[in-house]
Amino acid sequence: MVLDQTTLAGNRAGNGGAFANNADATATIFSSRLNANSTMGVGGGAILNSGTLTLSKSVLAGNSAPINGGGLNTQVTGVSHIISSTVDNNVSGSLGGGISNLGTTTLDRVLVTRNKGSAGGGIANGNANVVIRNSIIRDNIPDNCNPLNTIPGCVD
């Protein structure tokens, strides 16, 4: 599936408020905005990814989840590539206000800021498979990354 120059706003779902990418599926989201979406389940206020996801030149802003990943929740089978994008002002009632990772997540030229969760306000990492390149993770509450010192390049 490809979403190009699309806005997904104000959606609500059980998991993946705006978009859920299933295991063995591939999705590309390019030059799009996912904002003010919410989930009532596991997480991914904007996106729940269990497959392969490329998010490029896009914005995840103002999304919410009661559990993990206010913006993006990458599940155990998921591989998420975030490129030249912004993850801003998302909220999780638990881990990963901006991003929650249980699979593999790569950030390249990404701004992760002003997100809020119980821990890992910017990024919560469940397995040490997060790679950060040329990205800025700052001003997240209560911390930028969690567990502390498990994501090279993320400083609190």
- Tens digit of pLDDT for each residue in 68-125? 999 999 999 999 999 999 999 999 999 999 999 999 999 999 999 999 999 999 999 9
CB 84 within 8 A of CB 54: no
In whole angstroms, what is the distance from residue 133 CA to residue 149 CA? 16
Q: What residues contact 149, with CB distance under 8 A and at least 6 apart?
A: none
CB 70 within 8 A of CB 92: yes
CB 133 within 8 A of CB 105: no
In whole angstroms, what is the distance from residue 55 CA to residue 46 CA? 12
Q: What burial letters (b/e) apply to 62-92, b meaning 16+ CB within 10 Å?
A: bbbbbbbbbbbbbbeebbbbbbebbbbbbbb
Does the predicted TM-score (pTM) go above 0.85?
A: yes
For residue 34, pLDDT beyond 80: yes
Nearest 5 degrees, angle CA 23-CA 24-CA 30? 90
Kindly indicate the confidence band of residue 128, based on its pLDDT and cuts at 50, 70 and 90. Answer: confident
Nearest Cα neighbor of 64 from 79, 82, 81, 47 is 47
CB 92 within 8 A of CB 116: yes
